[in-house]
Amino acid sequence: MDARVILLSHGDGGALTRELINQVFFAHLGNAILAQEGDAACLPELEGRLAITTDSFVVSPVFFPGGDIGKLAVYGTVNDLAVSGAVPRYLTAAFMIEEGFTIEGLEQIAASMAAAALEAGVQVVAGDTKVVERGHLDGVFINTTGLGVIPPGVDLGYHHIQPGDRIVINGSIGEHGVAVMGRRQGFSFDVQSDCAQLGGIIGFLLSNCKGVKFMRDPTRGGVATALKEIALQAGCDFYLEEEKLPVAARVRSICDLLGLDPLYLANEGKFLAVVAAGECDRILDTLHQHPLGRQACCIGEVRPGSGNVFVRTAIGGTRRLELYTGAILPRIC
């Protein structure tokens, strides 16, 4: 028996399952709630409105410049809570592991998750492990659920968006998509994923500023897809300024070379905010005080309309952004 890789018997509920749970998951993610080992996590009473989200992570490769699937699973889940205005508190994590995946790799993922959870101020309080036959899954997939509390006075939603509002982003776009693609194809792009937890910067913003109406993290499908979905729900048109879009020179040159549009590339440490025009300058000044907001900028405005997103190009033209119908970068989150 090769103890260095995952075997089907690691998922049969017997001795090897117990060994895997104790030596990998409990060793890195253990806490008092998880240690109860019940069929459900019994949580302390939470005060305030609750927010809950669920997500699945199937990134390929599972290790990429700037992160891995474990870090991505924690940050991606807490970020969905944070852009909803909630303070993340608890996570659950279910692992689907392919037979033959290395235990060393699984430990690295668990350790990465633990570090990310500590940074984000959350605990992993419940989980599950399944093992599938070799060739029926690509390495490891992770499903998570996140629970958070919305502080009093925080109310974000599509219904607040109106013509005249401004569109803000906290930094440059496209790094995650380029980093994952580069590692998958064996290219040396020298681009790191922007994978980061947004709870800190969003909490800092909401506690210091008024006028934030809605937020969304532009992950799968990028900024273009996120804004198109928001515009449709809000029943307004969005106008972006191409020259104001923050794209790092390295990312832009790679996109130009490969024919990619950075607006459709995934991000894992960025958020879009629709804000009141009169509060935009103060909001930007506040974001600039945080390490994840040094490059924050206003990229466009809201106008009357019916759910369209337009980009004014550098040469004076206008192009319409639509929901992408193909797959630029499969398996990026």
pLDDT in tens, 141-156: 999 999 999 999 999 9
Per-domain residue ranges for the chain? 8-150, 158-321
- 255: closest CA among 309, 300, 191? 191
Checking if the pLDDT of 91 tops 60, the result is: yes
Q: What is the pLDDT, as a whole number, of residue 3?
A: 57
Q: Say if CB 86 and CB 215 are below 8 A apart.
A: no
Q: Structurally, what CATH architecture does the domain formed by 158-321 represent?
A: Alpha-Beta Complex (3.90)
User: Hey, which CATH number is domain 8-150, 3.40.50.2300, 3.40.1280.10, 3.30.1330.10, 3.90.1150.10?
Assistant: 3.30.1330.10
Averaged pLDDT for residues 270-292: 98
DSSP-based three-state secondary structure for 118: helix
- 262: closest CA among 162, 144, 177? 177
Q: Say if CB 109 and CB 102 are below 8 A apart.
A: no
Who's near 312: CB < 8 A, 6+ residues apart?
239, 240, 241, 242, 318
- 237: closest CA among 299, 190, 304, 177? 304
Averaged pLDDT for residues 92-118: 97
Checking if the pLDDT of 86 tops 70, the result is: yes
Q: Say if CB 217 and CB 83 are below 8 A apart.
A: yes
Query: Rounded to whole angstroms, how far apart are CA atoms 140 and 327?
Result: 21
Tokens for 54? Answer: 């669920």
- 216: closest CA among 16, 71, 79? 79
What is the average pLDDT score of the chain?
95
Checking if the pLDDT of 331 tops 80, the result is: no
- 121: closest CA among 47, 200, 51, 53? 200
- What residue type is assigned to position 158 of the chain? Y
The two beta strands, 236-241 and 309-312, are parallel
Residue written as tokens 């019916």? 306
What is the maximum span of the chain, computed from C-alpha positions, in angstroms?
67
Dump pLDDT digits (tens) for 284-326. Answer: 999 999 999 999 999 999 999 999 999 999 888 999 999 987 7
* Range with lowest mean pLDDT among 12-26, 108-122, 295-309: 12-26
Checking if the pLDDT of 61 tops 80, the result is: yes
* Range with lowest mean pLDDT among 29-38, 160-169, 228-237: 29-38
DSSP-based three-state secondary structure for 114: helix
Query: Rounded to whole angstroms, how far apart are CA atoms 239 and 265?
Result: 19
Checking if the pLDDT of 94 tops 80, the result is: yes
Dump pLDDT digits (tens) for 207-226. Answer: 999 999 999 999 999 999 99
Tokens for 108? Answer: 């690295």
Query: Rounded to whole angstroms, how far apart are CA atoms 205 and 194?
Result: 19
Checking if the pLDDT of 50 tops 80, the result is: yes
The two beta strands, 166-169 and 272-275, are antiparallel
Query: Rounded to whole angstroms, how far apart are CA atoms 307 and 235?
Result: 5
Q: What is the pLDDT, as a whole number, of residue 2?
A: 47
